[in-house]
């Protein structure tokens, strides 16, 4: 159709590949442009301690701000960034901005903890540990109030290097969390090898907790296993009051989700106050 009506053209795979290359190039160029013009913003979502309903920390979540002001969610670019070797640059920006935010709050007398996501690829990045140490030091952030979430978007390729990164950051006092536990790349092997402080139970087990017996069994089993290992548990996708009550009953330590608060630029009052009012 592209070449006009009443025509017949033979499809050759090269044409299609050309299209695909253009598409991926566009993604790559878009990411590079956003890096060059400082259009990766960081939004923060509260994580609540379920025992007393206090906010324990905030998770940093990246957004790509288009020149027209539209905010693009990470689902649209993180995997492309991983493929093109650019996720480390994005994660450096997010970490740097989060450290500055934490340090700024500290100067004003507020001790606030933050977690940030690291791609599996970052853990194989030889310069990552020194970058983190240097920018924590330069920003004045408190490493004891920082948590790295190892996300499921890419598998850890070099376990020795990953362990070395974790060891170096733990020596500073940083903590680690295994994200999206139960699906994707995260596995019991990682749990055994990485020595994490938190497990984040994947949202797919949480969303319909009150409806699905299977999900309740999975969550209770994870809590028991984590307890025996001295690991704290976090549930993502807490969207309903019923879910929150069940999680509290099961002994899950922390909750995160739209019921508690949506991601927002730090300091914008919106989410947290609404979440807490709804909880009563």
Residues forming the site for ligand C2E (CB under 6 A): 45, 61-62, 73-75, 78, 87, 90-91, 94, 117, 119, 149, 151, 153, 179-180, 236-239, 256-258, 263
Q: Is 149 in the site for Mg ion (CB under 5 A)?
A: yes
- β-pairing verdict for 146-150 and 175-181: parallel
Cβ-in-10-Å burial (0-12, 13-18, 19+) of 65 comes to middle
Whole-number minimum distance, CB 221 to ligand C2E, in Å?
20
Cβ pair 162, 123 in contact under 8 A: yes
Q: Of the two residues 99 and 114, which places its CB atom closer to Mg ion in the complex?
A: 114
- Select 14 or 240, whichever has its Cβ closest to Mg ion: 240
Residue 15 C-beta: closest distance to ligand C2E, Å: 33
Positions 192 through 211 that interact with Mg ion (CB under 5 A): 200
CB of 224 to ligand C2E, least distance (A): 23
Q: Judged by CB under 5 A, does residue 98 bind Mg ion? A: no
Q: Which is nearer to Mg ion, 27 or 151 (CB)?
A: 151
Query: For residue 122, what are the β-bridge partners?
Result: none
Smallest gap from Cβ 254 to ligand C2E, in A, equals 12
Supply the angle between the helices 241-250 and 213-228 in degrees, to the nearest 10. Answer: 40
For residues 114 and 143, which CB has a smaller minimum distance to ligand C2E in the complex?
114
What does each C-alpha distance from 57 to 34, 157, 221, 266 come to in angstroms? 28, 29, 25, 12
Supply the minimum distance, in Å, between the C-beta of residue 212 and Mg ion. Answer: 18
- The secondary structure of the chain in percent helix, strand, coil, rounded to multiples of 5, reads 50, 20, 35
- Closest-by-Cβ residue to ligand C2E is 257
**18 or 235: CB nearest ligand C2E:** 235
Q: How far is the CB of 71 from ligand C2E (least distance, A)?
A: 10
6 burial (CB, 10 Å; 0-12 / 13-18 / 19+) is exposed
Closest to ligand C2E by CB, 41 or 164:
41
Applying CB under 5 A, which of residues 102, 117, 145, 243 lies at the interface with Mg ion? Answer: 117
Beta strands in the chain (DSSP E): 40-49, 54-65, 71-72, 114-118, 146-150, 175-181, 198-201, 232-235, 254-255
Beta bridge partners of 71: 65
Q: Which residues bind Mg ion (CB under 5 A)?
A: 117, 149, 179-180, 200, 236
């Amino acid at each position: 159709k592209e070449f006009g009506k009443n025509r017949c053209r033979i499809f050759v795979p090269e044409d299609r590949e050309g299209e695909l290359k253009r598409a991926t190039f566009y993604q790559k160029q878009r990411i590079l442009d956003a890096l060059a013009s400082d259009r990766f913003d960081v939004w923060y979502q509260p994580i609540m301690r379920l025992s007393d309903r206090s906010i324990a920390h905030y998770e940093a979540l990246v957004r790509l701000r288009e020149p027209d002001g539209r905010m693009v969610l990470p689902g649209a670019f993180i995997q492309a960034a991983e493929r093109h070797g650019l996720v480390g640059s994005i994660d450096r920006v997010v970490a740097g901005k989060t450290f500055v935010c934490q340090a700024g709050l500290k100067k004003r007398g507020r001790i606030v903890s933050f977690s940030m996501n690291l791609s599996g690829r970052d853990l194989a990045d030889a310069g990552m540990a020194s970058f983190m140490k240097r920018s924590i030091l330069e920003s004045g952030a408190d490493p004891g109030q920082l948590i790295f979430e190892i996300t499921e978007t890419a598998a850890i390729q070099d376990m020795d290097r990953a362990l070395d990164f974790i060891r170096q950051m733990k020596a500073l006092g940083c903590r680690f969390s295994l994200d999206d536990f139960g699906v994707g790349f995260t596995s019991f092997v990682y749990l055994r090898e990485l020595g994490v402080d938190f497990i984040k139970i994947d949202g797919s087990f949480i969303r319909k907790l009150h409806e699905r017996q299977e999900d309740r069994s999975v969550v209770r089993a994870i809590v028991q296993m984590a307890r025996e290992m001295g690991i704290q548990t976090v549930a993502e996708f807490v969207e309903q009051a019923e879910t929150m009550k069940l999680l509290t009953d099961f002994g899950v330590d922390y909750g995160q989700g739209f019921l508690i608060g949506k991601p927002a630029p730090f300091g914008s009052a919106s989410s947290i106050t609404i979440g807490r009012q709804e909880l009563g």
